[in-house]
Amino acid sequence: MLGDLWKLFLENKKALAGLLILLFFVGVALFAPWIAPYDPRGNKLVDQEVLEESRGRKQTVERTQLDEFTEERIYDQTFTTRTKETTVKFPLKSPPTSKHLLGTTHSGQDIFSQVVWGTRVSLSVGLVTGLFTTLVALTLALSAGYFGGRVDEVISLFTNVFLVIPSLPLMIVIAAYITVRGVVPIILILGLTSWPWPTRLLRSQVLSLKNRDFVRVAASLGEKPGFIIFREILPNMISLVMASFFQSTMAAIIGEATLEFIGLGNVSVVSWGTLLYWAQTNGALLSGAWWWFLPPGICIALIGTSFALMNFAIDEISNPKLRKR
């Protein structure tokens, strides 16, 4: 079942392209320390070379004859090293050069290194939030769809209500009240405001699966709810769960960048969002520093496209009408 799906998925050109883009960024995130040429926060390179080491004279302070054979001596000695230290300050707001592939910021940090390190934060926040959101949505959808009745009514009501309440202003207001700035609050805020869409999507799938014959048979055979939910229903909606995971992750990456861009994140963390925040605060746009705000946006767009492509592929696999004939 899963294997078949995976095979169909890989045979789809869109899915493959999407997966490759995602893997590329995962690779960048994992190997950031080796890929980034400089410290993302530093603005200079300091190189030290020891030219000469010399010892000074020994100068005796105290000499004691302990016994016939043992003598104790205390002395001072100086060691001097002559070091050549070369500090190369990075140019400020420099356009891309061979040394700084994507140029530098107003205070001379290397933007390429920042983008590479930023991949780590942005991608992991996205994936963790996506996972969190999908789990919340799946739990709600399974309980609503399977148990029906009152449970379903309450869950559906709140899903529909939070669907129509605009989430961005809500996120901004919550974030503004939280005094701790950082990655964890952002994950929580994004997760807490983005569950309604996937919940709605997954719930309708659970409902339709629940009325299929194989589930009814399982129920009349006296299988326990846990078995029916996790062994009969869940495996049959894996593609939709994946789709909502991709969608939630993409929304989270954009959401994180948005909150950070507004200045509601921790601005000392290096991520794509804070990169854009600093670019905006330092007027990168109107001083023509395109190399500062273009790359983070392109990265976000590429990741977004990769998830969108995979989603599209899942759509095509599960809805044959959409396939090209």
Contacts with other proteins by CB under 8 A lie at: 157-158, 160-170, 172-174, 176-180, 250, 254, 257-258, 261-264, 276, 280, 285-286, 288, 290, 293-294, 296-297, 300-305, 307-309, 312, 315, 319, 321-322, 324-325
What sections of the chain are H helices per DSSP?
2-11, 13-30, 32-35, 111-147, 149-164, 167-177, 183-193, 196-210, 213-220, 225-227, 238-262, 272-281, 290-318
H-run or E-run covering 84: strand 79-89
Task: Identify the DSSP state of 96.
Answer: P
Nearer to other proteins, 142 or 175 (CB): 175
Please tell me the number of Cα atoms within 13 Å of 187 on its side-chain side. 16
Nearer to other proteins, 229 or 251 (CB): 251
* Closest distance of CB 226 from other proteins, Å: 32
* Closest distance of CB 157 from other proteins, Å: 7
Nearer to other proteins, 40 or 185 (CB): 185
Nearer to other proteins, 134 or 306 (CB): 306
Helix 290-318 and helix 13-30: axis angle, to 10°? Answer: 140
* Closest distance of CB 96 from other proteins, Å: 16
Nearer to other proteins, 147 or 293 (CB): 293
* Closest distance of CB 284 from other proteins, Å: 9
Query: Which sign does the torsion angle of CA 246, 248, 249, 250 carry?
Result: positive
* Closest distance of CB 192 from other proteins, Å: 11
Task: Report the residue count for the chain.
Answer: 325
How far apart (Å, rounded) are the C-alpha atoms in residues 143 and 127?
24
Nearer to other proteins, 14 or 100 (CB): 14
* Closest distance of CB 240 from other proteins, Å: 15
